[in-house]
Chain A
Amino acid sequence: MKLYSLSVLFKGATKANLLKAAYDLSSFSFFQRSSVQEFMTFTSALIAERTSVGTRASVKEQEYLCHVYVRNDNLSAVVISDSEYPQRVCFTLLDKVLEEFSRQVDSIDWPSGNPDTVSYKGLDIHLSKYQNPREADAMTKVQAELDETKIILHNTMESLLERGEKLDDLVSKSEHLGNQSKAFYKTVNMADSPATLNWIHAAATVSVVVFATFAGTETELLL
């Protein structure tokens, strides 16, 4: 069970502003990490933008789960985990991070801050500590029921979008994604069916697609 990214954002009127983020990409292959990180930033911002103020939600995408909490003061936190990691612990983590962040960083800096100007250092430590949910959360039982606050569940990223909105467009316009990552995304979504969104899979499996194609065709021709 793993946590991949933890970010704090400010949900503005039209978009979410990334204030600070921490990543653990050690389980991804080395050359994919920068793209994966960009996609995670992109996704965290998108989810924070599309989640209403004062709500918690979990968005499932392939084998990843993105958990978000947007507080009433618009300060938000997003954590991306795998599907094994217990959901309740994620929300405990988000609460904790937001509480600590709002004590250490002045609210006047939230709307316009960015990772370089914001001086909160707790994210890396929390991300690392919470890799083991039982150690991090020893006081409360991991499987205890979530409290009455409802958590909205989304089965895909696409359910966050407005009617007519396409994820492809959002990807190509995004300032969080570099050209290489956008190229990644394009390559995979041509190979797969248009309905499927494989943003992390884009980074992780495009190489498999390439090799399978070549190995397959060549063996047919030569053997």
Chain B
Amino acid sequence: MAESKEEVDVLVQRVVKDISIALKRHPNIDEIGLIQCPEALYNRSPIVLVENKLGVESWCVKFLLPYVHNKLLLYRQRKHWLDREALVDITCTLLLLNPDFTTAWNVRKELLECGALNPERDLYLSKLALTKFPKSPETWIHRRWVLQHILRQFSAVAHKTQQRVEAEQPDAERSQFLGSHLDRLIHQEMKVCSDAACRYPSNYNAWSHRIWVLQHMAKGNIKVFRDELSSVHPWVSMHVSDHIFCPSQHQSNTVHSTCPQANGELSLADAACGDRITTVFKLFYQETELCADLIQSFPGHETLWSHRRHVYYLWHHWRQDQDLCTDGRENELKPTCINEPDGSQGRNVDRHKHVSVPMEVDRVSLPDHDSKRLRRGILLPNLLTLQNEHTFVNSILNSCCNAEQNNYAVAYKKWLDTVISAQSLDI
């Protein structure tokens, strides 16, 4: 490199400042990127802003990154002092180039704790870093730390409100404000996670984060879980081989979380109990239907079969728990068939009639027909039986020619036989 140390110093300081100014002046920047540019062509800044995308020309990285990296480490070793503003700028530049540099995130944690930095800034910075490095583990970890920091602040505020003898603001208003802030944060997290999951296939870190957010920030919030399920469905339909099956695990967790929540929310009156059970049935049924639909439309994706296992397993165990708890109340929910006598014979025949429909080319009639029944809360328990699962698998085996699909179907059948049947009390 022909540049002298002084020239490099000047260049780098200018670039760090340029990045900081760009971010301040253009809060709509939503993506960062590297621009392939082996040499500096004109005497101008390597920081480029186009349509809310911030680009760094590649020629400057070999000067920039070692310099800021070194500076920060010297600060950490107390060999070089940096004031707060410089720290913010340097860590910002560093993390946009290399977000897995834990020390930089830790410096920002310190700044956050002493109040010199707004937590929202770090949520924004990590969101930008994730547009270029969607897997970066350190970024996700830092994001969770920041969210916990914000949650602690919330509960401190809520606690203070309770302690006040005469409240200046009515409690309801303040908690509503906090509630909507929390909702906004959750919504933002979901968006960041799904963007990262789209940018990088089978993005385990993104989906783990999503699960964490639901578990820690959306406790008891049924609406969030419901919205989650409905937003993940289309995603899963367009990413059928996202192989870590985190989306499916996420869906199962969401369904599962919704169940105990339903327990707490509704009363134990028989009618309400029936509603609760119906809601859960509906959820499981919808999951199974989605899975069946995707399995038939896109043969040969192991993820879909894994998801089916997951959902069925949860359903099976949930059902067994319910049987143990409700002891006998279930009888009121036993389905009655509309046109046939109440004998178990009739029900068996009807079950087969329904299950045989999926084998026809046009499955449109099944969902409509059954959705009417879903609304009336009858017939559901019989749609998710072991027998139906076997029938479904057999229909796949009979109709498909894709070798992989065949293997997955056979494996699923084996699983049903060995795992589920062995664990069944009686079906």
Contact = CB atoms under 8 A, between A and B. Distances in A.
A222 B239 contact: no
Contact of A143 (B69, B199, B239, B299): B299
Main secondary structure of the interface of A (DSSP, over half): helix
A214 B33 contact: no
A132 B238 contact: yes
A206 B34 CA distance: 9
A180 B297 CA distance: 41
B411 interface: no
B370 interface: no
A30 B51 contact: yes
B62 A214 contact: yes
Interface string B54-88: 01001001100110011001000000000000000
A13 interface: no
A29 B36 contact: no
Contacts of B33: 29-32, 207
Contacts of A84: 239-241, 298, 301
Interface string B34-57: 111110000000000011010100
Interface in B273-316: 296-299, 301
Contact of B297 (A32, A134, A206, A218): A134
Nearest to A33: B33
A183 interface: yes
A113 interface: no
Contacts of A29: 31, 33, 131-132, 199
Contacts of A207: 33-34, 58, 132
A1 interface: yes
B196 interface: no
B364 to A, nearest CB: 11
Counting chain B CB atoms within 10 Å of each CB, the highest count among A31, A86, A215 belongs to A31
Contacts, number: 85
Interface string A168-191: 000000000000100110010000
Interface of B: 31, 33-38, 50-51, 53, 55, 58, 61-62, 65-66, 69-70, 73, 97-98, 100-101, 131-132, 198-199, 201, 237-241, 296-299, 301, 361, 400-402
Counting chain B CB atoms within 10 Å of each CB, the highest count among A184, A214, A223 belongs to A214
20 contacts: A1-B238, A1-B240, A27-B199, A29-B31, A29-B199, A31-B33, A31-B35, A31-B55, A84-B301, A86-B298, A132-B238, A143-B400, A145-B401, A184-B36, A210-B61, A211-B65, A214-B61, A214-B66, A214-B98, A215-B98
B65 A215 contact: yes
A214 B402 contact: no
Nearest to A214: B65
A141 interface: yes
Contacts of A25: none
B114 to A, nearest CB: 26
A35 interface: yes
B36 A206 contact: yes
B66 A35 contact: no
A142 interface: yes
A206 B297 CA distance: 36
B66 A218 contact: yes
A215 B100 contact: yes
Interface in A28-54: 29-32, 35
A211 B68 CA distance: 13
Contacts of B61: 210-211, 214
Given A132-B238, A180-B36, A214-B61, A30 B50 contact: yes
Contact of A210 (B34, B100, B402): B34
Contact of A1 (B73, B101, B239): B239
A142 B297 contact: yes
